[in-house]
Amino acid sequence: MASANKSRWIYAAAAVTPAAVLNWFGNGLNPLWPLMWIAMLPVLWFALESSPAAAGIVAAASILLGALNMWQYLHVVLGAPASVWFSVYAVAAIAGAAAVVLFRALALKGHTWLAALSYPAAWTACEYLRNLVTPHGSAGSLAYSQLSFLPFLQLASITGPWGMTFVMLFFQSTLAIAIYLWRTNRKQALRIASGGVGLTATVIAFGALRLTQPQGAALRVGLISSDQRPYATVTDPGPSTEQLFSAYAAQAENLAAQGAQAIVMPEKLAAIVEPDTSPMDNILQSTADKTGATVVAGVVRISKPLLYNEARIYVPHAPIASYDKQHMLPPYESKLEPGKSLTLLPQAHKTIGVAICKDMDFSRPARSYGQAGTGVMLVPAWDFVVDDAWHGHIAIMRGVEDGFSIVRSAKAGFLTVSDSRGRILSETRSSSAPFATLLANVPTEHHATLYQDFGDWFAWLALATLVVALVGLLRTPKPLLKSREAPAPATQRAPQ
């Protein structure tokens, strides 16, 4: 008995260890995208060889241990209490464990295809529901681990991140069942494996084809940011604000002299108080008028008793426009009033939209901008240094989903220009110089997408598939393994 218990522990550790390591390095702030394609394969294989309780425990442990890669970011950098990390990832661990137990139950009942579909459907459904109820939108979806895998990323133009999560996990669930069946029913194992491999290959082929399509005319853009004090914080109203915007205006003039037609500065550069915003407005409007370039700068606008996280937009020889951020980062922005409307800047056969930082973690307002025919999004932002790639690149997904390029200028992060296919055209760190600047040509043509038109249809399909899978638990079991035929008895000679 002791030997059997020891053996079970060894098998459990053999599943948890590689899964946790693959999740640690394959997901999080700096993911190695190929690892996520096999991260849960050891857990799914173990589930088919173990009890339901053991399968659930191994799945939950793998997810929690892998998620420790986000501990420093949440607890140390953002200052969130340990309970926040645990609550976020405990929910993910419980959901993941339930999905694995469901997968196991259906597979061992012989409903192999339904089992293979149930695991990715359950995980995708949980991601989507979390996106609806938390203040962080789709951030944390497994799909964001694949931003560098450009052919696969193109699936977001059809399904959003939800289809990407599903396909990646379906690939693993089919392989787990195929490995389990290989010794007893190779034909069925090959059929199951070919389903996962075939779907993945089809998606990648589609993406490769989409990447070959032309991008159209381009706009020359300039980006500016500084992590140097005192510019790295929100500057108080008064002479220091005028000094800050004069320094930024000088950089903007240099970029405009090199051909920049639109210039983006970071989020929350300074606080301005209504009704007298003229010190800042005069400086940047004068810059726009003199250079002919549109200038976008982020501020905290104080209109007592309300505060807004605002992008102020200076179009040459035109009234000042503005955009108010819609999605706030708690608790840092809990006192700010969220905006509700889009800001569009039609310019010479192209439509330009404006959003701010965390807005790009959500399907809205990005999808609304796509439906309005936007070709370029100008996005002031502010990150936390260590999340420069993780959070800074989430916006890239919105561009693929909704068919526009993105020009994102962040403090404590990256200055990034990407196109509607998710390609990073140019990028530099905001810390690369006292005033980091970037010049790039960015495509301005809007590309209609199915996701833009139909939204989160795939997430609802995943929810429906999960319901079907749960109902499938009530179905009559059928043999999972092909029975071996017993050898025919030897013919006996009749007694003479």
Paired with 306 in beta bridges are 303
| pTM for the model | 0.93
What is the pLDDT, as a whole number, of residue 4? 58
Give the count of beta carbons closer than 10 Å to the beta carbon of residue 145. Answer: 24
Q: pLDDT tens, 94-122?
A: 999 999 999 999 999 999 999 999 999 99
Is omega for the bond preceding 434 within 30 degrees of 0, making it cis? no
Residue partners of 74: CB distance under 8 A and separation at least 6: 80, 84, 85, 88
Inform me whether the pLDDT recorded for 276 exceeds 80.
yes
Strand runs labelled E in 236-349: 262-264, 270-273, 294-303, 306-314, 321-324, 344-347
Strand duo 262-264 + 218-225: pairing: parallel
Inform me whether the pLDDT recorded for 496 exceeds 70.
no
Q: pLDDT tens, 4-59?
A: 566 788 889 999 999 999 999 999 999 999 999 999 999 999 999 999 999 999 99
Inform me whether the pLDDT recorded for 307 exceeds 90.
yes
Inform me whether the pLDDT recorded for 493 exceeds 90.
no
Q: pLDDT tens, 45-80?
A: 999 999 999 999 999 999 999 999 999 999 888 888
Inform me whether the pLDDT recorded for 485 exceeds 80.
no
Token digits for 460? 């609802």
The domain segmentation of the chain, as residue ranges, is 2-212+453-472, 218-446
Strand runs labelled E in 395-473: 405-411, 414-418, 424-429, 436-443
In a 13 Å sphere around the CA of 33, the CA atoms on its Cβ side amount to 16
Say which residue, 403 or 80, is predicted with more confidence.
403
Token digits for 4? 């059997």
Question: Token pair 């500057």 is at which residue?
Answer: 235
What is the pLDDT, as a whole number, of residue 3? 58
What is the pLDDT, as a whole number, of residue 478? 78
Phi, psi (degrees; rounded to nearest 5) at 79: 75, 15
Average pLDDT over residues 227-238: 82
Helix (H/G/I), strand (E/B), else coil: 30: coil
What is the pLDDT, as a whole number, of residue 279? 81
**Whole-angstrom Cα distance, residue 293 to residue 265?**
13
Measured at the CA of 326, the angle between CA 407 and CA 276, to 5 degrees, comes to 85
Say which CATH class 218-446 falls into.
Answer: alpha beta
Average pLDDT over residues 327-356: 90
Token digits for 438? 């970037």
| Rg value, the chain, Cα | 27
**Whole-angstrom Cα distance, residue 53 to residue 345?**
57
Residues in the chain: 496
Q: pLDDT class for 480, splitting at 50, 70, 90?
A: low
Phi, psi (degrees; rounded to nearest 5) at 159: -115, -5
Average pLDDT over residues 260-277: 94
**Whole-angstrom Cα distance, residue 411 to residue 195?**
45
Q: pLDDT class for 457, splitting at 50, 70, 90?
A: very high
DSSP 7-25: HHHHHHHHHHHHHHHHHHH
Check residue 175 and report its DSSP letter: H
Paired with 378 in beta bridges are 354, 407
Average pLDDT over residues 116-144: 96
Strand duo 424-429 + 414-418: pairing: antiparallel
| Whether 22 contacts 66, CB under 8 Å | yes
